[in-house]
Amino acid sequence: MTITLDLAAFLSERGYRKYEQNNSKCLWQSRRDFLPLCASNEKSWINVWVYHNDADPPCEIEIRAEAPDGTWFKLLAYSFHATDLPAKLAGIEQRLIAAWKAVAEPTP
């Protein structure tokens, strides 16, 4: 079994679905119920990008959303490899969600 197949099974088990793929990258998305929701589509997503350029592809995890005040944010964890994803994904998700909650709230 290749890293790509192992990674696909891992992401599927965590509730991610393959959204799009081209020759250089694959996007996996998981809808979550963290607040605030994106102002433009009223949904919360965590995106995992897997880049297919070597035997141990690099990955990125992001939250990209519009805050209630109309400001767009792209919160990104990057520069780690697919073999690290199973050990790191849950912690990175939690940290990105915490960061989103902090930046999405309007400042006083």
Q: For 48-64, what is the mean pLDDT?
A: 82
CA pair distance 89, 87, nearest whole angstrom: 6
Which of the pair, 4 or 105, is modelled with greater confidence?
Answer: 105
The predicted model scores a pTM of: 0.85
Mean local confidence (pLDDT), 41-58: 82
For the chain, the average pLDDT equals: 86
What is d(CA 45, CA 34) in angstroms, rounded to the nearest whole number?
9
Residue 23 has pLDDT above 80, yes or no: no
> If you search the block for the tokens 């990105």, which residue do you land on?
96
Amino acid 13: pLDDT? 93
pLDDT for residue 55 is more than 80 = no
- AA identity, residue 69: D
